Structure 1
Amino acid sequence: MALSDALNDDVVLWSTDARAGLPLLVLLHGYGADERDLFGLVPHLPPGFAYAAVRAPLAPPFPTPGHSWYPIEGLESRDPRHVTDAAARLVEWLDARTDAPATGLLGFSQGGAVALQALRLQPERFSFAVNLSGYAMPGALPGDDILAERRPPVFWGRGTHDDVIPGQLITHTVEWLPAHSTLSGRVYPGMGHSVSQDELVDVRRFLDLQFDAITAAGA
């Protein structure tokens, strides 16, 4: 059954129209941004992927601009059910819109949480994930045991001066990711809730390795 607040095809930004046979990397922006935010990173990322930047379906409360994947305010702040719903919307969109030979996820902040939640919903579907200044949600999902067995590659980058993500979520993610993924990443001194040039270099290196692995598996 289709979820409400489905993703809008009309605002998805694609890096290329010639996508047949290319691995796909889906870009998931953060709270208050839109599809243009992470699409600006594409020139700095490996050219072998097709990139799709999608727009979150919800509008944050006024006066916050942009869009959000799930509410982070009020009594339902960061409720894991809403994060799971957001990930399910993403999976539904992918089911209907792409037949890529391999799919990875790259998200910032909220988008990073959605990327990890989608990985948990369909642990055998996604090849890898990149979590920039994001976190893993507490609670158990049916795919967690499979994920712990598969241990897909995950890159997690965050800054020492990030005062946006609650400390308890960082603590949980520090414990959860090594148990459910092949984790790599870095904590960047002095970086706040953002993406630095050093982090982009590390992400590019990680994605190059994933592209090589996907290519080798399909050879």
Structure 2
Amino acid sequence: MQQIDADAVRWREGERESGEGDLLVVLHGLGSHEGDLFGLAPHLPASLTIASLRAPLPYGGGFAWFDPSPIDTDERARDASAEGVLHWLDGLDRGFERVHLLGFSQGGVMAVQLARLAPERFSSIVHLASFVHDGELPGDAALAARELRIPMLTTIGDLDDVIHRDRIERAAPWLDAHFDVERRTYHRAHSIVAEELADVVAFLERV
């Protein structure tokens, strides 16, 4: 298991009238850090408590969730980081009514990996500019068999030269078979654009 640095987590407390509220766990992309996607926080629904995590592996000037090498097909490396996130969630000193995931690029892979390992724990996924790793995991059947599948917003850019087209095309039918998918395409490269952010906000407000 790869340990998540609890001291590095960036938090925004959600506004709620009662109850424990919902938590949105934010997972950054390759070579980035916990402060990157946390910049979206002012635009996201105020009711959500937001926790932006730092990936556990140093990479370049930032951090990674797993080795991005094309020859890295070891599922255990991704599981180790996902298990670290689950362990971090277990160690929180407060509970939440529901937990949602938002991941960009490699962070999107991790969001799916978390749902594959613990399909009962998550209520929605925002899967931005990302893909899915091949192979089957024990939680995959439970994901597909859920009476109400986990809602997912998955986005791609028609100019994205980081996430290869074959990975996007391979991921689409798998996601459709395991989640309740909304799919959006934007005229962008490997980034997040204003129209996309508006769709993310609308999706989170619905779920």
Alignment match, 2:186: 188
Alignment match, 1:166: 164
Matched residues in 2 for 1:73 and 1:121: separation?
Answer: 22
Alignment match, 2:85: 90
RMSD over aligned CA atoms reads: 1.7
1:104-126 Cα shifts (integer Å, max 9, x gaps): 00000010000001011111110
Which secondary structure does the structure 2 equivalent of 1:148 belong to?
helix
1:206 equivalent to 2:203? Answer: yes
Which secondary structure does the structure 1 equivalent of 2:133 belong to?
coil
* Structure with greater proportional helix content: 1
Q: Which runs of 5+ in 1 are unaligned?
A: 211-219
Q: Is the 8 A contact 1:80 1:138 kept in 2?
A: no
Matched residues in 1 for 2:78 and 2:163: separation?
Answer: 15
Equivalent pairs: percent with the same residue? 41
Which secondary structure does the structure 1 equivalent of 2:172 belong to?
helix
Q: Is the 8 A contact 1:29 1:37 kept in 2?
A: yes
Structure 1 residues 113 and 11, CA, compared in 2 at 3 Å: closer, same or farther? same
Q: CA deviation at 1:174?
A: 0.9
Structure 2 counterpart of 1:148, from 144, 147, 151: 144
Which secondary structure does the structure 2 equivalent of 1:67 belong to?
strand
* Structure with greater proportional strand content: 2
TM-score by length of structure 1 reads: 0.87
Matched residues in 2 for 1:80 and 1:192: separation?
Answer: 28
Matched residues in 1 for 2:161 and 2:55: separation?
Answer: 23
Q: CA deviation at 1:17?
A: 8.3
Alignment match, 1:39: 38
Q: Is the 8 A contact 2:3 2:81 kept in 1?
A: no
1:70 equivalent to 2:69? Answer: no
Matched residues in 2 for 1:171 and 1:74: separation?
Answer: 17
Structure 1 residues 138 and 75, CA, compared in 2 at 3 Å: closer, same or farther? closer
1:136-189 Cα shifts (integer Å, max 9, x gaps): 111101111111122210010110111111333212211111100100020112
Matched residues in 2 for 1:85 and 1:17: separation?
Answer: 29
1:50 equivalent to 2:46? Answer: no
1:70-92 Cα shifts (integer Å, max 9, x gaps): 1113742x643322222111111
Alignment match, 2:75: 80
Matched residues in 2 for 1:172 and 1:120: separation?
Answer: 17
Q: Is the 8 A contact 1:27 1:51 kept in 2?
A: yes
TM-score by length of structure 2 reads: 0.92
Letter aligned with residue 148 of structure 1: A
Matched residues in 1 for 2:14 and 2:168: separation?
Answer: 38
Structure 1 residues 108 and 122, CA, compared in 2 at 3 Å: closer, same or farther? same
Aligned length: 202
Which secondary structure does the structure 1 equivalent of 2:61 belong to?
coil
Which secondary structure does the structure 2 equivalent of 1:14 belong to?
strand
